Amino acid sequence: MSENLVAKNSKQKSGILIGSAAVIGVPNAGKSSLLNAILGAKLSIVSRKAQTTRHKILGVYSDDKCQVRFLDTPGFQLEHKSMLNSAMNRSVSSSLAEVDVIIFVLEAGLIQKNDLKLIEMFPGDIPVVCAVSKIDQLASPNVVLPFIDKVKNLYAFVDIIPTSAQRKQGLDSLIASIQSKCSLGEPVHDEDALTDRPERFFASEIIREKLFHLMGDEIPYGVTVEIEEFKIEKGLRSINATIVVAKSAHKGMIIGAQGSKLKSIGTKARVEMEYFFDGKVFLKLWVKVKKGWVDDSQSVKYFGYE
Ligand SMILES: Nc1nc2c(ncn2[C@@H]2O[C@H](COP(=O)(O)OP(=O)(O)OP(=O)(O)O)[C@@H](O)[C@H]2O)c(=O)[nH]1
Ligand SMILES: [Mg+2]
C-alpha cells in the first residue's frame, strides 16, 4: 500500500469563505509555531535554531465559516548566501505573489534589519496583517502597546495582532482578520485535508527536526534527509531514510560513539512519527556524505528544494 496524505477531521460546507495566507518573517520569528497553533496540529517542524523551515508548506485550516490555505515559509534572511539559502528565499518571494493575505510574523520587541528588507518586498496590492509573536516572553504586558505603535510606523498593516503560539493567544483575532479578506466560494480541499504533502515528506522533516534538536549549531544547516523507502503493510510503516551531510567530519558526529547519537535521533524521530501517523513505525537510518551539496544548485534541486 502506498503512503497517505496527511489529514485531519474537520467539518466542511459549500459556499463558505475561502482564502489563502502566506506566513512570512525572519528566521526564528515563530512562523511555524503560529501555524501549528492555528491548525491545532504539528505540521511544520520547530526549533530554537534559525532557518528550521526550508520549504513552502501548505496547511489547510477549516471551520464552519471558512477554509484558509496557509503557506508556512522559510525564514527570510540575506546573510547566508548558499544555493540552499537562495532557494529558501525564492520560496518566500514566490509565496507573496500567490495569496490573498500576507501574515507578517514579527517577534515582540524585536525589529531586525531583515524585517525591514522583507517589508520592502511586500507587493503593494495584497493586504498585510502583522502578527506580533511570542508576547508571552515580554517582561510585562504594558510593553505591547508601545511596540505596536512602533510597528504602525513600519508599514500600513491592515491589522496588528499580538499573539502567542505557546499560550494560544490572538489566534481567533488572526483568523477573523484573515476571514475579512476572504471571499465566498467552494472549498478547495476535502473536508479532512490538512496538507498536500505526502507522509514521506513529514517523515523526512521529523528526522531533520531531531537533528536540529540533538546536534550542535553548525551541523543541521548542512543536513538533508532522503526517504529511500516508505512502505505501509498492515498499518506498520517501514521507513528507510538517509541523512545526507555536506562535510565528511559531520558523518561521525551524527553517528556518535558506537552509534549512540544516531540511535537517539532515530528513537526520537520514530516516537514522533508514530504519534503523527497514528500507527507503528519501523525506522532505519543511514548517514551519507555529499560534499558541499548546499552550494551546488543541482543537488539543492535534487533534494527537493525549490
Ligand atoms: N515563548 C515562546 N516561544 C515561541 C513562541 N512561538 C515560537 N517560539 C519559539 O521560537 C523558536 C522558533 O520557532 P519557530 O516556530 O521554529 O520559528 P520560525 O519562524 O518558523 O523559524 P524558521 O523556520 O527557522 O524561520 C522556537 O524555539 C519556538 O519554540 C511563543 O509563542 N512563545
Ligand atoms: Mg519555521
d(CA 279, CA 273): 8
User: 76: which 3 cell numbers?
Assistant: 527570510
CATH superfamily of 198-302: K homology (KH) domain (3.30.300.20)
Query: Which residue's C-alpha cell is 460546507?
Result: 13
- Bridge partners, residue 193, by sequence: 7
User: In terms of Cα–Cα distance, which of 102, 97, 70, 65 is closest to 183?
Assistant: 65
Predicted local confidence at residue 135, as pLDDT: 97
Predicted local confidence at residue 218, as pLDDT: 83
Query: How long a stretch of residues is the chain?
Result: 306
Per-residue pLDDT of the chain (306 residues; tens, 9 = 90+): 456 556 554 444 558 999 999 999 999 999 999 999 999 999 999 999 999 999 999 999 999 889 999 999 999 999 888 999 999 999 999 999 889 999 999 999 999 999 999 999 999 999 999 999 999 999 898 999 999 999 999 999 999 999 999 999 999 999 999 999 999 999 889 878 899 999 999 999 999 999 999 998 888 899 999 999 999 999 999 999 999 999 999 999 999 999 999 999 999 999 999 999 999 999 999 999 999 999 999 999 999 997
Predicted local confidence at residue 11, as pLDDT: 44
Predicted local confidence at residue 110, as pLDDT: 95
Domain boundaries, the chain: 8-185, 198-302
- The three-state secondary structure class of 228 is strand
Predicted local confidence at residue 144, as pLDDT: 94
CA atoms within 13 A on the CB side of 52: 24
Predicted local confidence at residue 75, as pLDDT: 96
The alpha carbon of 178 is separated from its chain's Cα centroid by a whole number of angstroms, namely 19
Rounded CA Rg of the chain: 20
Class at the top of the CATH hierarchy for domain 8-185 = alpha beta
Q: ∠235-210-224 over CA atoms, to 5°?
A: 90
User: 182: which 3 cell numbers?
Assistant: 476572504
Q: Do domains 8-185 and 198-302 have the same CATH topology?
A: no
* Mutation pick for ligand 1 pocket among 28, 45, 208, 212 (CB with most ligand atoms within 8 Å): 28
Predicted local confidence at residue 220, as pLDDT: 87
Predicted local confidence at residue 6, as pLDDT: 63
In which element (H, E) is residue 57 found? strand 57-62
d(CA 153, ligand 2 centre) in Å:
26
Question: Quick one: which ligand is closest to 42's CA?
Answer: 1
Tell which atom from ligand 1 comes closest to the C-alpha of 54.
23
Other Cβ atoms less than 10 A from the Cβ of 7: the count is 14
d(CA 15, ligand 2 centre) in Å:
32
| Sign of the torsion angle spanned by Cα atoms 228, 296, 52, 119 | negative
User: 132: which 3 cell numbers?
Assistant: 506580533
